[in-house]
């Protein structure tokens, strides 16, 4: 039987293992941590449960199709609910917007609160949908680095509409021109952070991201975000995938420019296919010994990272929902600080995620579990001890002002995650959450491909390679990578 080894049991690695198993491979996954899921993990502080990493769940079809691929009914093992409210937005001037999932209600909210006619926003969203419909077949569904990807009817159609994509303008300038109203512009500028980029640098094509949230909605998995990974982990085990948790891969073994297996802390194991779900930077630097690294790709600007406070709060806040954003007053200065000065801004945007709004057991009665995230630069040697202390005080002061509360005595439990800890726990280079940033109009083409022409039978998936970071893109990355791998027959490799 043909064999495959997957390095890393992140969401992309598990998805790749499931797809390889369906193709007839005997799959083994090695994971350095003693738990699966990578960033999609969870922990408890006292009576509060927290999702450690990604908190936004969109496009659940990419999860459920993995069950369907193996002829299982996904709802028997993984369930979720669509949110009626996508997000609550707050500003220092006391403006408050509820982003309803229902487009009619949302358009009414924007018109009533900001005075923006529904026709203006509908036109903007329609244009974003057009971008997505044209570009998804090329950018999200296949390798950008294979010539045949550009020779399809869909791709040629997409290339005929280059002006529509607004790649020569940044996202902020597109939003400012089309939407004008400052609060609404800032709302839609925020979507650049979904891939760790700046709206003042990432190209205007990125308006397609907000289309996805508006079109498909946001969801809550039963049992928390970790259930996305855990349900797929259990599925993979049922389908014969072998997991070695707590066993770190030290080297990818090569013979005559071909991957032939791996060396771990305790064993050598041969394989016909090796697929790395590890960040591509340490994959090259630590696992591919003696191999020339693609410096142009690996030296790209890192995406943003974050400082995250996990707070057990002894109070309920009725004005808050699952997703809540408290905006800075000078968005441009915030991103200039992150990407140019390599430091958090003095005034920054705060994201608060509260899963106990939908999963009451995540917090004790009368309390809430707050995942409080501030975007920061990646780790370039800053004094993170000092930074986290300053961010804590400024974050509390900001939330106190906007919510008109005194948070300090309400914080019953606390833990903190910083960029160095993110790198330590997930092997993400410099703690960057999404690999390289998309602060370049050619960023999609500059991401490392899902294969390397220099080493046969070696493939890559996950947030640091094509098509990018975030749960949906990681799952698509696994599909793109495994689509490049032939079915496991005796003469297929």
307 with 334, same domain? yes
**In this model, does residue 145 exceed pLDDT 80?**
no
349 with 467, same domain? no
266 with 199, same domain? no
Residue 151 Ramachandran class (φ > 0 left, ψ -120 to 50 alpha, else beta): alpha
User: Is residue 17 domain-resident?
Assistant: yes
Q: How far apart are the C-alpha atoms of 286 and 4, rounded to whole Å?
A: 20
Provide the pLDDT confidence category of residue 231 given band limits of 50, 70 and 90: very high
* Angle, CA of 49, 86 and 410, to the nearest 5°: 40
252 neighbors 274 (Cβ within 8 angstroms): yes
For strands 3-7 and 273-276, give the pairing. parallel
103 with 160, same domain? yes
Q: Is 406 exposed, middle or buried (0-12, 13-18, 19+ CB in 10 A)?
A: exposed
For strands 96-100 and 85-90, give the pairing. antiparallel
In three-state secondary structure terms, 15 is helix
Q: Tens digit of pLDDT for each residue in 325-348?
A: 999 999 999 999 999 999 999 999
175 with 311, same domain? yes
Residue 475: CATH number of its domain: 3.50.50.60
User: Is residue 43 domain-resident?
Assistant: no
> Domain span at residue 172?
82-221+302-426
214 with 123, same domain? yes
Q: How far apart are the C-alpha atoms of 474 and 471, rounded to whole Å?
A: 5
Q: How far apart are the C-alpha atoms of 350 and 145, rounded to whole Å?
A: 37
**In this model, does residue 250 exceed pLDDT 70?**
yes
Q: Could you tell me the CA-to-CA distances from 270 to 4, 34, 260, 261 in Å, in that order? A: 9, 23, 6, 4
Q: How far apart are the C-alpha atoms of 77 and 86, rounded to whole Å?
A: 25
122 with 252, same domain? no
User: Is residue 436 domain-resident?
Assistant: no
Provide the pLDDT confidence category of residue 462 given band limits of 50, 70 and 90: very high
Closest CA to 401 of 347, 363, 355, 356: 347
The pLDDT > 70 percentage for the chain reads 92
E-strand ranges in 234-392 read: 242-245, 249-254, 259-264, 268-270, 273-276, 305-313, 323-326, 350-353, 368-376
Q: What is the mean pLDDT of residues 85-91?
A: 97
102 with 154, same domain? yes
377-399 in b/e form (b: 16+ CB < 10 A) is bbbeebebeebbeebbebbbebb
283 with 385, same domain? no
157 with 191, same domain? yes
What is the pLDDT at residue 16? 98
194 with 86, same domain? yes
User: Is residue 488 domain-resident?
Assistant: no
Q: Tens digit of pLDDT for each residue in 23-56?
A: 999 999 999 999 999 999 999 999 999 999 999 9
User: Is residue 438 domain-resident?
Assistant: no
Number of separate domains in the chain: 2
Residue 337: CATH number of its domain: 3.90.660
Residue entry with tokens 């010539």: 147
Q: Which has more confidence, 377 or 149?
A: 377
Q: What is the mean pLDDT of residues 380-390?
A: 98
Alpha helices in 87-225 (DSSP H): 103-114, 118-139, 153-159, 171-179, 182-189, 208-216
Q: What are the φ/ψ torsions at residue 362 (nearest 5 degrees)?
A: -75, -10
User: Is residue 41 domain-resident?
Assistant: no
User: Is residue 321 domain-resident?
Assistant: yes
194 with 288, same domain? no
User: Is residue 157 domain-resident?
Assistant: yes
What tokens appear for 468 in the block? 């990018």
Q: Could you tell me the CA-to-CA distances from 122 to 119, 126, 132 in Å, in that order? A: 5, 6, 15
2 neighbors 493 (Cβ within 8 angstroms): yes
């Amino acid at each position: 039987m043909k064999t495959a080894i997957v390095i890393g049991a992140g969401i992309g690695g598990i998805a790749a293992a499931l797809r390889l198993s369906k193709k007839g491979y005997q799959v083994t996954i090695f994971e350095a941590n003693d738990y699966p899921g990578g960033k999609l993990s969870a922990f408890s502080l006292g009576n509060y449960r927290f999702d450690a990493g990604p908190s936004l769940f969109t496009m659940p079809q990419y999860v459920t199709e993995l069950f369907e691929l193996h002829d299982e009914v996904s709802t028997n093992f993984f369930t979720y609910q669509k949110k009626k409210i996508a997000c609550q937005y707050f500003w220092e001037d006391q403006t408050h917007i509820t982003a309803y999932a229902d487009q009619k209600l949302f358009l009414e909210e924007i018109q009533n609160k900001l005075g923006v006619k529904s026709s203006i926003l509908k036109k903007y969203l329609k244009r974003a949908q057009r971008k997505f419909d044209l570009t998804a077949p090329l950018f999200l569904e296949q390798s950008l680095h294979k010539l045949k990807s550009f020779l399809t009817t869909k791709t040629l159609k997409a290339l005929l509409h280059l002006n529509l994509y607004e790649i020569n303008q940044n996202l902020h300038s597109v939003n400012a021109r089309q939407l004008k109203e400052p609060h609404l512009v800032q709302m839609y500028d925020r979507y650049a952070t979904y891939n760790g980029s700046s709206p003042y640098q990432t190209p205007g094509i990125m308006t397609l991201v907000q289309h996805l949230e508006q079109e498909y909605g946001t969801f809550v998995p039963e049992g928390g975000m970790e259930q996305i990974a855990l349900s797929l982990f259990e599925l993979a085990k049922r389908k014969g995938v072998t997991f070695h948790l707590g066993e770190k891969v030290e080297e990818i073994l090569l013979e005559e420019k071909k991957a032939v297996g791996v060396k771990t802390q305790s064993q050598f194991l041969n394989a016909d296919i090796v697929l790395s779900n590890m960040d591509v930077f340490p994959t090259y630097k630590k696992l591919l010994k003696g191999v020339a690294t693609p410096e142009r790709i690996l030296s790209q600007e890192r995406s943003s990272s974050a400082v995250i406070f996990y707070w057990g709060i002894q109070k309920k806040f009725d004005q808050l929902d699952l997703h809540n954003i408290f905006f800075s007053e000078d968005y441009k200065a915030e991103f200039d600080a992150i990407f140019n000065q390599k430091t958090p801004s003095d005034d920054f945007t705060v994201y608060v995620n509260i899963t106990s709004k939908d999963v009451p057991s995540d917090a004790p009665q009368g309390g809430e579990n707050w995942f409080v995230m501030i975007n920061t630069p990646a780790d370039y040697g800053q004094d993170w001890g000092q930074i986290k202390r300053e961010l804590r005080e400024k974050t509390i002061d900001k939330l106190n002002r906007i919510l008109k509360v005194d948070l300090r005595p309400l914080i019953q439990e606390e833990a903190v995650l910083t960029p160095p800890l993110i790198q330590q726990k997930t092997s993400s280079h410099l703690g960057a959450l999404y690999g390289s940033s998309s602060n370049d109009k050619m960023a999609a083409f500059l991401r490392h491909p899902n294969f390397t022409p220099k080493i046969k039978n070696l493939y890559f998936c996950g947030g640091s390679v094509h098509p990018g970071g975030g749960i949906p893109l990681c799952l698509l990355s696994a599909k793109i990578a495994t689509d490049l791998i032939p079915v496991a027959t005796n003469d297929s490799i």
